[in-house]
Amino acid sequence: MANARTRPVAIRAETRFGELAALQWGREGDPPLLALHGWLDNAASFTRLAPILADDRCVIALDLPGHGHSAHLPGTLRRYAITDQIDHVLDFAAALGLGQFDLLGHSLGGGIASLFAAAAPRYVRGLSLIESLGPLGDTGDRTLERWRAAHAELEKGRGKPRLFATLEEAVAARVEAGDLQAGEVRPIVARNVRRVENGYVWRSDPRLRLRTPLRIEEGQIRRLLAGIEADTLLLLAEPATPYLPTGLMNARAACLPAIRVERLPGPHHLHIRHPREVAAHIKKFLASI
């Protein structure tokens, strides 16, 4: 029983998009909790949090398309749009026969979870969000600039994949790019590299790094958030992450009919740095709804 909590089982599901991979903690008969990770992370982002939640939940952490061990978009000239991810999550849940479930998302995964809850409220019992409420929005002041830059970037093309001689070099690169320490990122990196002749390269799709040509306008985001029917928990880091300013998060939270906003000291990856504290908040919230 303890092993089912601490050692995840790798699962895969065939969907209309392609094969999606995931990690599962806990007993299959327990209430399901579907977890969605952040941009350029993967299911291993929940390695520290999931075992704590899995004492009474079946925690299923999905590798979003293009991440981890999930399939990449077909073709070469396509981008990953956040609005398309809702269909991929819905197909994955249907493939597993989840029915109604609790939904957890961090960062990009929280944006996807928010839009999913608004689009398909009948599936979501409780919504837990870490450092995200809706996707990154557009206020209109940089719309044309972003549009032109995105298309110029695609026209220019991408260089060769970065090669790492050792796994530790890949870990060091990830530490340099983020807010976590080597021990904290190692599970994510290990799931996100593949072995090649001279070392390791990232397994994730390079097109995930392409700019988004058009973001959803902020007013539209708030109207979508107002459609979330599930009780919602929002956990935010202190000090506030620069692209999640307090005023914006408060304004978005005010759109939801039933939301609790709680703040914890720590970095953007709260669930990795402080898994027990985050788990305590989530468990208390889920037990109350």
Question: Which residues does residue 236 pair with via DSSP β-bridges, in sequence order?
Answer: 263
| Whether residue 288 lies in the annotated active site | no
Of 157, 18, 163, which Cα lies nearest the Cα of 95? Answer: 18
Asked if residue 256 lies in contact with residue 232, where contact means CB atoms within 8 angstroms, the answer is yes
164 CB neighbour count, 10 Å cutoff: 20
Which of 107, 114, 132, 204 is the catalytic position? 107
Q: Is 127 left (phi over 0), alpha (psi -120 to 50) or beta?
A: beta
Q: Of all helices (H) and strands (E), which one includes residue 186? A: helix 182-191
Of 225, 217, 215, which Cα lies nearest the Cα of 251? Answer: 225
Q: Of all helices (H) and strands (E), which one includes residue 45? A: none
User: In this structure, what DSSP letter does residue 83 have?
Assistant: H
Asked if residue 248 lies in contact with residue 223, where contact means CB atoms within 8 angstroms, the answer is no
118 CB neighbour count, 10 Å cutoff: 22
CB hemisphere CA count around 185 (13 angstroms): 22
What amino acid positions are annotated as catalytic residues?
107
